[in-house]
Amino acid sequence: MLKLHHAPNSRAGRIVWLLEELQLPYELNRMEFSPKALKSDEHRARHPLGRVPVLEDGEVMIYESGAIVEYLISRHSDGTLKPAVNSPLFPKYLQWFHYCEGMVMPPINTIVVHTLLLPPERRNEETLGQAKRLLVKALEPLNENMAGKDYMIGDLSGVDFMLGHACYMSRRVGCMPEDMTQLHAYVKRLEARPAFEKGIKT
């Protein structure tokens, strides 16, 4: 059986969401989001930096949420969540899939660090402001892309497990302007999916 090592309020929520959408049986190791749990020798044996998510599939141990999404779609889905390589949608799939960690998540990480993780005396308002501005700019192409679509490339795909979760987080940190109406509607569609709700609340 698949086993997912998970901590709340982390990228691991993407993987719970995907597992639920695929209706795959899995075991969940729910860990505290704390150095004591994540930096333990036991967990460092799974991930050298002590992070989540980590997926076990028999003899396979794989980390990085994007890699896990690709792995599950390639090995454990019916092929509907990823366009074929000769599809005209395939280049867009690749672009938006990697846009998530390349453009959207870095400023989110900085925002979380300077609002939640660092003690108040170490937080930097200038760094925080810059990260918020970068995040809004990174979301602008996504808002434009969503015109006339329900999901990032049309139908639900691996891209949504990456960028959909990132858009949800962007809204949570207050960096999705109200005039980004396409993205707000997109996040609401995701929230209406029971599997997404399970992924976020687990």
Which class does domain 2-76 fall in? alpha beta
Tell me the mean pLDDT in the region 81-108. Answer: 98
Tell me the mean pLDDT in the region 24-45. Answer: 93
**Which residues belong to CATH 3.40.30.10 in the chain?**
2-76
CA distances 50 to 40, 47, 117, 174, 191, Å, are 7, 5, 16, 28, 29
- Name the burial class of residue 33, with classes exposed (0-12), middle (13-18) and buried (19+) by CB atoms within 10 angstroms of its CB: middle
What is the tens place of the pLDDT at every residue in 2-21?
A: 999 999 989 999 999 999 99
**Which residues belong to CATH 1.20.1050.10 in the chain?**
90-201
Q: Is the pLDDT of residue 33 over 90?
A: no
Categorize the per-residue pLDDT at 25 as very low, low, confident or very high, splitting at 50, 70 and 90: very high
Q: Is the pLDDT of residue 146 over 90?
A: yes
Provide the pLDDT for residue 36: 86
Topology of domain 90-201 in CATH is: Glutathione S-transferase Yfyf (Class Pi); Chain A, domain 2 (1.20.1050)
Return d(Cα 64, Cα 14) in angstroms, integer. 11
Q: Is the pLDDT of residue 34 over 90?
A: no
Categorize the per-residue pLDDT at 35 as very low, low, confident or very high, splitting at 50, 70 and 90: confident
Provide the pLDDT for residue 166: 98
Tell me the mean pLDDT in the region 47-64. Answer: 97
Tell me the mean pLDDT in the region 113-126. Answer: 95
Tell me the mean pLDDT in the region 27-45. Answer: 92
What is the tens place of the pLDDT at every residue in 174-183?
A: 999 999 999 9
